[in-house]
Amino acid sequence: MALRVAVFQETPDRLAQFERIMAEAERRVLRIALRLLNNPHDAQDAAQEVFLRLYKQLGRLDEARGYDAWLYRVTVNVCRDIARKRPQAVALEDAPEPREHQPDLEFAERREIMQRALGRLGEKERAAVVLRDVEGLSTREVAQILGSTETTVRSQISTARLKLRDFTSRLLRRR
Amino acid sequence: MSCANWKTEIALYAGGDLGSDAAGVEAHLSECAECRALLAELQEDRALLGELQEEPVVDALAAQVRRRVMAQVRVGRAWPAVWKLALAAALVLAAILAFPRHARKEGHVARMKAPPAVEPVRPAAPPAIVPAAHRVRRRQRRAPVERAQAPRPGPPLLVQFVTDDPEIVIYWLVDQKPEGD
């Protein structure tokens, strides 16, 4: 019922504030969703859900503290929910070959391999390494977003980096 | 400690996540070429991961998301008008539920015709100048018919609901139980 009351209290200022926050954060939210879900349609669905939640919560969030931590946390949670409704990720050994075989790997192809490798990680390891190595957040920030300890996050990051190295080197050896 | 045992530490060291615990790893790296090669590969991977921030398709995807979100938000902004109707409907429902059950008969629910001025139809009182003998004759003629008919219902009750919106007024006509029951 409180939510409905919030809808009644809609004002042009609130809508303008929401549009401003969305313009600032939409690329970041989508980028994380793309890395976590590895599918543009799922990433769009996730981003849409994140911003609709933001709109509903706008009056209750502390503007002075900023929306970044909230956005990161909700994005990870929404992506996790979407990923759980999908078929499980393919195991490293079962991963299909890259599309084309070229003697020299171009940057775009190495990038594609890395993206595919990210998709093979477990959801917690993937979230930790995306926030730490792609988004450049500190270990402490990642721990806060994931609701975990720094020790756990460091362990997840270490495991994720080694798995990524293992996967990319396997693909390179096949060439 | 073998190289395999150093891997976890090296993976953290590659991202600067070891802090003050880095001295042991650095000592091992200084004397192990294989682990130095692993470190170089891990650092290359990190650089590539950082490059993933530059995603060329994000702008196009973001524009679509923005359109979808704003469309839904605008629908949400139209809710107050819908709520007025919902409130009116809820009032009607509440009135139906609150009205005494025995006053409602099956097949005689409220008729929602155009709201006329409700004037209960009552038979005109007989004029006082009619001779008593004539009244007796009329009563005798009509008596069998009245016995066969159901008791006359009372005048219908007109319930008027006024909402916040002056254009929305709800009228409800309710049959009342027969007089004398």
On chain A, the residues whose CB falls within 8 A of the CB of B72 are 48, 52
pLDDT the model gives residue A127: 94
B42–A165 CB contact, under 8 Å: yes
pLDDT of B98 higher than 60: yes
pLDDT the model gives residue A47: 95
Q: What sign has the CA pseudo-torsion B44, B50, B56, B60?
A: positive
Query: Which of A11-15, A87-91, B15-19, B124-128 has the highest average model confidence (pLDDT)?
Result: B15-19
Query: Which of A112-116, A170-174, B149-153 has the highest average model confidence (pLDDT)?
Result: A112-116
> Whole-prediction pTM value?
0.62
Q: Which residue of B has its CA nearest to A33?
A: B58
For an interface test with B, give the residue of A118, A161, A171, A173 to mutate (most B CBs within 10 A): A161
pLDDT of B92 higher than 70: yes
Please count the residue pairs, one from chain A and one from chain B, whose beta carbons lie less than 8 angstroms apart.
119
Nearest-neighbour CA in chain A from B166: distance (Å): 19
pLDDT the model gives residue B114: 56
The CATH class for the domain spanning A9-87 reads mainly alpha
**Nearest residue, CB atoms, B66 vs list A4, A22, A169:** A22
Q: Nearest-CA neighbor of A43 among A30, A27, A54, A53?
A: A30
On chain B, the residues whose CB falls within 8 A of the CB of A141 are none
| B34 and A CB contact within 8 Å | no
pLDDT the model gives residue A33: 92
> How large is the average pLDDT for residues B70-91?
72
pLDDT the model gives residue B151: 61
Confidence of residue A103 (pLDDT cuts 50, 70, 90): very low
Query: Which of A6-20, A57-71, B131-145 has the highest average model confidence (pLDDT)?
Result: A57-71
> How large is the average pLDDT for residues B114-130?
56
And the tokens for A114? 């890395």
- List own/partner pairs for B77-84 with CB under 8 A and 24 or more apart: B77/A7, B77/A10, B77/A15, B79/A4, B79/A7, B79/A8, B80/A7, B80/A8, B80/A10, B83/A4, B83/A8, B84/B163, B84/B164, B84/B165, B84/B168
pLDDT the model gives residue A140: 94
Any idea where the domains of chain B sit in the sequence? Answer: 3-51
> Mind listing the pLDDT tens digit for each residue in A19-78?
888 998 999 999 999 889 988 899 999 999 999 999 988 877 777 777 888 999 999 999
pLDDT of B153 higher than 80: no
- Enumerate the CATH 1.10.10.10 domain ranges in chain A, comma separated: 90-175
Confidence of residue B30 (pLDDT cuts 50, 70, 90): very high
Q: Which residue of B has its CA nearest to A20?
A: B66
**Nearest residue, CB atoms, A26 vs list B14, B45, B66:** B66
Query: Residue A89 burial (CB < 10 Å; 0-12/13-18/19+)?
Result: middle
B73–A43 CB contact, under 8 Å: no
pLDDT the model gives residue B138: 54
Nearest-neighbour CA in chain A from B62: distance (Å): 6
pLDDT the model gives residue B175: 72
> How large is the average pLDDT for residues B46-52?
87
- List own/partner pairs for A4-10 with CB under 8 A and 24 or more apart: A4/B79, A4/B83, A6/A56, A6/A59, A7/B76, A7/B77, A7/B79, A7/B80, A8/B79, A8/B80, A8/B83, A9/A59, A10/B76, A10/B77, A10/B80
Nearest-neighbour CA in chain A from B37: distance (Å): 12
CA B56 to chain centre: 40
Complex confidence, ipTM? 0.75
> Mind listing the pLDDT tens digit for each residue in A122-168?
989 999 999 999 999 999 999 999 999 999 999 999 999 999 999 98
Is the domain defined by A90-175 classed in CATH 3.30.460.20? no
